[in-house]
Amino acid sequence: MSWKALPPDRSAAGPWNAASTRSAASAAATTSFEVQTIDHVYDPDVAAAFGLHTGQVCVMIHCGSRGLGHQVCTDHVRTMEQAMHRYRISVPDRQLACTPVDSPPGRDYLGAMAAAANYARANRQLLSEAARRAFVTAAGAGLELVYDISHNTAKLETHEVDGVERLLCVHRKGATRALPPGDPSLPTDLTDAGQPVLVPGTMGTASYVMVGLPGNDAFHSACHGAGRVWSRHHALKMVRGERLRDRLEASGIAVRPSSWRGLAEEAPEAYKDVDAVAAVTEGAGLARLVARLVPLGVVKG
């Protein structure tokens, strides 16, 4: 996801880019471009460190690897399912197929997953550049990147387990990293604040910026978004894209979908209540609320 901030005075102060990567564990590649405004700041000091403030206009870009990550998942689930018996591994569901990280199938998977993640990273940078040009042309305003983070990826990280530091492969599905203040992996300008955690909602609801907390027992992880309650297939049965467009525009949200089908699949009611998700995330000690953003316009592709 990509967040770009456009201050009211049109100066290029602090945006956002949090890159959502559709990598090996992903089900589909989804691209969206959402113009938002910050309607509430919960932690002014951390928001200032991120370059965010009330009334600021932001852009969130969410894109994937254009199906490459899904193909990586499909191919390597099949390969690992066939190889598990060699490592005496059994799982209750074939979608959980796995092999040791340092095995040939494990290394092959990590390499392919990294390729998909890099593809998505390059893709969102191109979309970010397109956003910059659009804002310069339409508003004479510059956009400055604040942060770029992936989700749905596996990373080799060191964490304490039973009092012992161990090298783990942390696979975050529907989740993203949430590093606490002072973590050595943070860039210097975020060391005191902590890592930004982006929790996108839907076209008709809010999104949140949160920040990582110390004491996170989920290997420094937090939710990536509201999460679906309807499958795409069910959403198509329940919602018509044209009517959804009319409903959103009646509430002041401009919508430009590439197809009515794609718009219906992303209906607000197809997702969980993002306000509740953000509150639970904070209550669980995974991340703390920093700012709330509401949509002004959405492009779905």
Question: How many residues in total does the chain contain?
Answer: 301
- For residue range 152-174, what is the model confidence (pLDDT) as tens digits? 899 999 999 999 999 999 999 88
Q: Which domain holds residue 78?
A: 2-227+271-300
**Position 201, amino acid:** G
Question: Which runs of consecutive H residues, i.e. helices, occur in the chain?
Answer: 44-50, 68-83, 104-139, 232-238, 241-250, 260-265, 274-283
Residue 32, pLDDT score = 77
Residue 125 tokens, joined: 């940078």
For the chain, the average pLDDT equals: 87
Tens of pLDDT, residue by residue over 6-23, are 443 333 333 333 333 333
Question: Residue 148, exposed/middle/buried by CB under 10 A (0-12, 13-18, 19+)?
Answer: middle
In a domain, residue 246? The reply is no
Would you give the distance in Å from CA 269 to the centre of its chain? 19
Angle at 178 between CA 99 and CA 119, to 5 degrees: 60
Task: Report pLDDT for 30.
Answer: 62
pLDDT single digits (tens) 64-94: 787 888 899 999 999 999 999 999 999 999 9
Q: What is the pLDDT of residue 174?
A: 86
Q: Is residue 255 part of a domain?
A: no
Query: Could you tell me if residue 250 is inside a domain?
Result: no
Taking only the tens place, the pLDDT of each residue in 99-114 is 999 999 999 999 999 9
Annotated binding site for Mn(2+): 62, 151
**Amino acid 149: pLDDT:** 82
Least confident interval from 108-117, 140-149, 291-300 = 140-149
Give the integer Cα–Cα distance in Å for 2 and 16.
6
Say if 90 falls within a structural domain.
Answer: yes
Cα distances from 222 to residues 104, 164, 195, 199, in angstroms, run 30, 23, 11, 9
* Whether residue 288 has pLDDT greater than 90: yes
Give the whole-number percent of the chain exceeding pLDDT 90: 67
Q: Is the pLDDT of residue 24 over 90?
A: no
How do beta strands 287-300 and 254-257 pair? parallel
DSSP 228: B
Residue 54 lies in a domain: yes
pLDDT at 296 > cutoff 50: yes
Mean pLDDT across 249-260: 90
Q: What is the pLDDT of residue 256?
A: 87
Q: Identify residue 57 by its one-letter amino acid code.
A: V
Residue 249 has pLDDT above 90, yes or no: yes
Residue-level pLDDT at 18: 36
CA 276, CA 171: separation in Å to the nearest integer?
24
CA atoms within 13 A on the CB side of 296: 12
Residue 6 buriedness (CB in 10 A; 0-12 / 13-18 / 19+): buried
Enzyme catalytic residues: 224
271-284 tens-digit pLDDT: 999 999 999 999 99
Which amino acid, one-letter code, is at 245? R
3-state DSSP percent of the chain in helix, strand and coil, to 5: 35, 25, 40
Cα 139 from Cα 4, distance rounded (Å) = 14
Q: For residue 264, is pLDDT > 50?
A: yes
Residue 147 is predicted with a pLDDT of 83
Could you give the number of structural domains in the chain?
1
CATH number of the structural domain spanning residue 22: 3.90.1860.10
pLDDT of residue 2: 46
pLDDT at 191 over 50: yes
Residue 260 within any structural domain of the chain: no
Whether residue 195 is predicted with pLDDT greater than 70 in this model: the reply is yes
Q: By the 8 A CB rule, do 64 and 20 touch?
A: yes
**Within a domain: residue 131?**
yes
pTM of the model: 0.85
Based on C-alpha coordinates, what's the Rg of the chain?
Answer: 20
Could you tell me if residue 258 is inside a domain?
no
Separation in Å, CA 129 to CA 144, 179, 215, 285: 10, 27, 37, 35
Closest Cα partner for 245 from 264, 221, 226? 264
